[in-house]
Chains A and B, each alone.
Chain A
Amino acid sequence: MFSAPTLHVITTELTVGMFSLSGICFLLIFIGKGPEVKDSVAHWALAGGLLATPLAILTGVNSAPGDGLDNPLLANKLLLSMSAVGLALGLLWSRITGGRQDGRLHPSIGMVSVGMILLTAGIGGEYVRGESLIFFLPKDIVLLFPVWVSVVIMAMGFTLIGLSLTKSKVTESH
């Protein structure tokens, strides 16, 4: 039998490793260096990291001491990881539907997404071991919106996603 903390180590290694690889490739795309395959690697590694992220979250919840979200670090981990997943999903969708993306905006968003995942992992290390290289960030402050604000934001997100899907279908039909 494996305990949840052991599985959490495995799944976080998987997640962080894939996101890191993706981040390096996005960096190469951003600076215009490196082999041509960097675009494929960046997006496939991002997809792999996305697949491994739910496993990391589930095992992390099971291995965390205490009940529920009783620490601001855990709350910030949740917000950061979900934001990063949103960015990564958007990137992959753009790449799949729009083909290879030129310019620096696309890799920049990829690097931001990867950075947020790495920050999430760093906060996890601080939660467990009490030490962190990113000590200068106010990680014990949680910016919590009222529920109605979250509902509005979620509605905006759904609208944007819906418009994008509609536009994509229209483009395909043409």
Chain B
Amino acid sequence: MRLRLIIVLSVLILSATLSAANPGGEGDSLQSMQCGGSCHGDAGQNVTSAAEVTVMAQEQVWAGLLTTVEVSITNPVVSNTRMLGVFLLINDQAAKDTPAHDGWEIVADPNGGVNNYVEKRLSRTAYNATFTWTLRAPTAGEYNLLATIHHGGAYDGKPAHGTAETISLNIVEPPENLPQLSADFTPPATRELGEETTIELSIVNVESFTVEWRTDGGTPTTLIVSEGEFTLPAAVNPGSIEWRAHLSGDGPDQTTPWFALIAEEPGWQVEEFALYMQAFALLFLFAGLVMSRRPGSGNGDAAKIPLALDATTMVEHTPMMAAPLAAPQALPPPLDATAPAAVTMPQMIPVPPAYPPIPLEGIPVGWTMEQWHHYGQEHLDKLSRENNLGGGVL
């Protein structure tokens, strides 16, 4: 029995795979490099990803205006979960390295949130992936941006880590008459399936504008603009479309970056009051059912659950020890050897259970009488063997 148990436990332990990462990811968040949920700090615990990571930004970025940054990942060898995590950073120091530390504002991340670290599950057929952030640029100056990735894959269970070349951006103040989106305009990042999206552009120094949209990487289609508003078509399936505006005015014409609009299935919703009611109803019902069941011959001798069992008291309460000795039975008359043996039928006499006799030194410390009944004979045999062995040696 014990051998089988050891074998089963050994098989269970050996069947566990060793992994140094979180296969299910850690979720989108604002994170410094190396802190996306896996302990990649130890060089022996990770490997370099074979993927090629590239960061691309617009050539001209105006201070305080919106721009987009694309992170392109080529040929990532991801794990079976197809999970890929990407960081958008300003340096590789692993501290104070999020875009916000340089004054960048993340307006929309690739998943429609406002995080510098995002995770996506790549499709089975995808060998490349592009992650696009929409940012509001900081004040004029020289800035750096880079991206790092991490993922699982065919690396003996170790997480793979890759870093892009750092790019430099020269951000300048926009001309006073530059046609632009107003500073308080924030493009919508997400919407639900099946609903059209009407956007009213908030613009400055603009006399006229046109808008076009496209599916991811598709051919742009021009939209009708009416009274400063335009409507993007409804999405049938989860995914994203992109749109941008061409702005015309006194200053040089401007084209906004492509803004992604992600269509998602409606989130799971539940009437929380009904759920909480059901939860408490189940609590009271199960408690009541267990409390009202017929007691399983409870002995009722313990109003409190004992903190520990006292073997001494148990021994004292054991009938074998506590009961007064029975009156000595009269010895049978001596057999008369000369008398002929009487032929009698054997009778069935009830025999009390044969418990092992208690030695003079008592039962072992910590044992209960129940244990003695079960294992006492084994203990006596062991003592006997030890005594015999000791005698032989001595």
Interface residues in chain A, defined as those with a beta carbon under 8 Å from any beta carbon in chain B:
35-37, 39-40, 43-44, 65, 68-72, 75, 78-79, 82-83, 85-87, 89-91, 93-103, 105-106, 109, 126, 128-131, 142, 144-147, 149-151, 153-154, 156-161, 163-165, 167
**B267-299 near A? 1/0 per residue, CB < 8 Å:** 111111111111111111111111111011111
Interface 9-mer from B20-28, B186-194, B346-354: B20-28
New A-B contacts (5) at CB < 8 Å, excluding given A75-B275, A90-B289: A40-B307, A43-B305, A90-B286, A97-B303, A131-B24
**B114-138 near A? 1/0 per residue, CB < 8 Å:** 0000000000000000000000000
Q: Is the CB of B309 within 8 A of A154?
A: no
Q: How far is the CB of B55 from chain A (nearest CB, A)?
A: 27
**B302-339 near A? 1/0 per residue, CB < 8 Å:** 11111111000010000000000000000000000000
Q: A20 vs B290: C-alpha distance in the bound complex, in angstroms?
A: 20
Residues of A within 8 A of B274 (CB): 144-147, 150
Q: Is the interface of A mostly helix, strand, loop or mixed?
A: helix
Q: Which of B25, B281, B290, B303 contacts A91 (CB 8 A)?
A: B290
Q: A23 vs B277: C-alpha distance in the bound complex, in angstroms?
A: 28
Q: A156 vs B279: C-alpha distance in the bound complex, in angstroms?
A: 14
Q: Is the CB of B299 within 8 A of A99?
A: yes
Q: Is the CB of B287 within 8 A of A161?
A: yes
Q: Is the CB of A151 within 8 A of B293?
A: no
Q: When A and B form their complex, which 5 residue pairs have the shortest distance between CB atoms, in order from nearest?
A: A90-B290, A130-B24, A160-B288, A157-B284, A86-B286
Among B269, B286, B309: residue with most chain A CB under 10 A: B286
Interface residues on B, range: 35 or more
Q: Is the CB of B275 within 8 A of A69?
A: yes
Q: A40 vs B118: C-alpha distance in the bound complex, in angstroms?
A: 49
Measured CB to CB, the nearest residue on chain A to B302 is A99
Instruction: Check if B371 is an interface residue, CB within 8 A of chain A.
Output: yes
Instruction: Check if B265 is an interface residue, CB within 8 A of chain A.
Output: no
Q: Which of B25, B268, B273, B298 contacts A147 (CB 8 A)?
A: B273
Q: A87 vs B285: C-alpha distance in the bound complex, in angstroms?
A: 9
Q: Which of A100, A105, A106, A154 contacts B301 (CB 8 A)?
A: A100
Q: Is the CB of A129 within 8 A of B288?
A: no
Instruction: Check if B156 is an interface residue, CB within 8 A of chain A.
Output: no
Q: Is the CB of B283 within 8 A of A75?
A: no
Measured CB to CB, the nearest residue on chain A to B284 is A157
Q: Is the CB of A164 within 8 A of B296?
A: no
Q: Is the CB of A90 within 8 A of B305?
A: no
Instruction: Check if B165 is an interface residue, CB within 8 A of chain A.
Output: no
Given contacts A103-B296, A147-B277, contact A153 B285 (CB under 8 A): yes
Q: Is the CB of B277 within 8 A of A151?
A: yes
Q: Is the CB of B292 within 8 A of A160?
A: yes
Residues of B within 8 A of A154 (CB): 277, 280-281, 284-285
Measured CB to CB, the nearest residue on chain A to B298 is A98
Q: Is the CB of B288 within 8 A of A130?
A: no
Measured CB to CB, the nearest residue on chain A to B299 is A99
Q: A94 vs B81: C-alpha distance in the bound complex, in angstroms?
A: 47
Instruction: Check if B368 is an interface residue, CB within 8 A of chain A.
Output: yes
Instruction: Check if B370 is an interface residue, CB within 8 A of chain A.
Output: yes
Instruction: Check if B392 is an interface residue, CB within 8 A of chain A.
Output: no
Residues of B364-387 at the interface with A, using a CB-CB cut-off of 8 Å, are 368, 370-371
Measured CB to CB, the nearest residue on chain A to B370 is A36
Residues of A within 8 A of B298 (CB): 94, 98-102
Q: Which of B268, B276, B287, B302 contacts A86 (CB 8 A)?
A: B287
Given contacts A75-B270, A86-B285, A129-B23, contact A99 B277 (CB under 8 A): no
Q: Which of A78, A153, A158, A160 contacts B275 (CB 8 A)?
A: A78
Instruction: Check if B362 is an interface residue, CB within 8 A of chain A.
Output: no
Measured CB to CB, the nearest residue on chain B to A43 is B305
Instruction: Check if B390 is an interface residue, CB within 8 A of chain A.
Output: no
Among A72, A131, A160, A164: residue with most chain B CB under 10 A: A160
Q: Which of B267, B280, B300, B371 contacts A70 (CB 8 A)?
A: B267
